[in-house]
Amino acid sequence: MKISAKITLWYGSITLAIMILFSGALYWGMRLVLYEALDDDLAIFANTIQESYNPFLGEFEELLFHLESANRYKELWLVVYNAMGRPVYASPMTQYIPLKIPVPKEAQAGYTLRVNVPKTLPWLHTDEDGRITFRAITRRMAYNGRPIGYIQAALPIQRVQTELDSLLRLIVMANIIGILLIGGSGYFLTRRVLSPIRDITRKAREISETRMDERLPIVHGEDELGRLSQTLNNLLERLQQAFRAQQVFISDITHELKTPLSMMRTHWEAELNNPQLDDDTKKRIITDIEAISRLNRLLKDLSTLSKTEERQNWHITRVSLEQVIRDVMNELRPIYELRKQDVNADLPSDLFVEGDRDKLYQVFFNLLENASAYSGDGSAIYIQGVSEKNRVLVRICDNGPGIPTEDQPHIFERFYRVQKDRSRKSGGSGLGLAIVRRIVEAHKGRIHVFNAPEGGACFEMTFPTPVTSLKSTNEVQI
């Protein structure tokens, strides 16, 4: 997951949690306010009844008149009890809905009761279970400190619940819209803030050992991103200096060793013609000459690798890979004939790339020479080329033992050998495939290795193609 998505996810999650807490507090607070308003309505009924009490007669006068003129009387469930605990008045609602309201010893706040409705009342709306929730109170009445009775009153909370449901829908919609707006704006702002980091990453990917003179742009010089760019540029400067020192060392060491090795080889080859030497001494001299030859090849490969990484004296032209591969096949023809190997090439004539012909020649020479060395006598080598719209693909497969899966990720590393004893016997330096990869990547191409299902190793290369032409396939077999 990208860091911009992570930041947006964290920001959105925290914001959503805050909005949920705030919405819950808002909903609960509004619920308390509405319930308190309902309790106030019930208290008004209780006060109205208490004001109608006549202390001389010891009864409530004109009670019905006072109640019928009150608001919401039709929905009121009310029973008035005298000091003896006998009911002296009951509202019409008590005939339809029985409520069992407890009588506390002390005054309490209102509470809710949920009851079944045995009969449908047009002015009341039941829930899905056919039940109605009431808000009820019990109020004891006294006159000059003397108990005169108590009342039990209740009102349905359907109006309150309707308002709470509307508030809940509004809160949910507001939260959804809010989180979408906050998430979208947060993602936009995060990408805007992180855009310099993406630019730094993209530029850093473009810098390689062949372009180490380039540096990252410093857009924000005073902030953290500017300091990050400056630090990376300083690191690139040190890497470039170390890389140059390495290249100079390799160049110097190959130059200094080439002459004495050539002199040693010339000397030992001359000694072979000395008739005074016995056969054992000559065998040791031949062994030394072979070791010197391996050292010479190692120095040559080191020099080639160094020049490839520095891209010295490259001549970029339009190159026909078909012709390059044919020339390599012709040069290696004596080896193929000696080992009785068949080379089958399926190459279209439009395998064109932009690059250095000599370096590309080195690529296919190394690969085809390796394929011959590791395939064995009487084997076959297959070369296939494909020209597509935006790329050129070349695949070289052999009939050898293949490359173990655990060795494939390291096959293009310097001095890496799969079969170390065989590589030394064949004179390999362990740099051939490293040179191949460097040249292919310098041409903006890619190379990878895999084992064919029928056996043998396959090296597949892709290069960007400068042109698209009609394909004509030529079959070659030697």
Task: Give 321's strand partners.
Answer: none
Predicted local confidence at residue 469, as pLDDT: 42
DSSP per-residue codes, 143-200: ETTEEEEEEEEEEE-HHHHHHHHHHHHHHHHHHHHHHHHHHHHHHHHHHHHHHHHHHH
User: pLDDT digits over 393-430, tens only?
Assistant: 999 999 888 888 888 888 888 777 766 544 445 545 67
Q: Is the pLDDT of residue 162 over 80?
A: yes
Tally: H helices and E strands in the chain = 10, 15
Predicted local confidence at residue 28, as pLDDT: 93
Taking the complete model, does pTM exceed 0.85, yes or no?
no
CA nearest neighbour of 135 among 219, 39, 62: 39
User: pLDDT digits over 229-277, tens only?
Assistant: 888 888 888 887 877 777 677 676 776 777 787 787 787 778 777 787 7
The least confident of 29-38, 183-192, 217-226, 463-472 is 463-472
Report d(CA 295, CA 261) in Å as an integer: 8
* DSSP 8-state secondary structure symbol assigned to residue 408: G
Which has more confidence, 237 or 1? 237
Are 35 and 110 in contact by the 8 Å Cβ rule? The answer is: yes
Report d(CA 175, CA 179) in Å as an integer: 6
pLDDT classification of 81: cutoffs 50, 70, 90: confident
Predicted local confidence at residue 477, as pLDDT: 38
pLDDT classification of 435: cutoffs 50, 70, 90: confident
The domains of the chain, with CATH numbers, are 3-178 (3.30.450), 224-307 (1.10.287.130), 317-464 (3.30.565.10)
Most confident range (mean pLDDT) of 141-150, 274-283, 360-369, 410-419 is 360-369
Region 436-454 average pLDDT? 89
The C-alpha angle 425, 454, 429, rounded to 5 degrees, equals 20
Mean of all residue pLDDT scores within the chain = 79
pLDDT classification of 40: cutoffs 50, 70, 90: confident
* DSSP 8-state secondary structure symbol assigned to residue 452: -
Non-local (6+) Cβ contacts of 440 within 8 A are 363, 446, 447, 461, 463
Q: Encoding tokens for residue 446?
A: 């890619």
Could you tell me if residue 113 is left (phi over 0), alpha (psi between -120 and 50 degrees) or otherwise beta? beta
Predicted local confidence at residue 64, as pLDDT: 61
User: pLDDT digits over 279-335, tens only?
Assistant: 788 788 888 777 777 777 776 766 666 666 656 567 889 999 999 999 999 999 999
Tell me which residue has tokens 């993406």.
198
Q: Is the pLDDT of residue 209 over 70?
A: no
User: pLDDT digits over 86-127, tens only?
Assistant: 888 888 888 878 788 877 665 555 667 666 665 566 666 666
Report d(CA 408, CA 90) in Å as an integer: 95
pLDDT classification of 475: cutoffs 50, 70, 90: very low
Which has more confidence, 16 or 123? 16
Return the percentage of the chain with pLDDT > 70, whole number. Answer: 79
Distances 389 to 386, 410, 417, 465 between C-alpha atoms, Å: 10, 31, 36, 8
Non-local (6+) Cβ contacts of 409 within 8 A are none
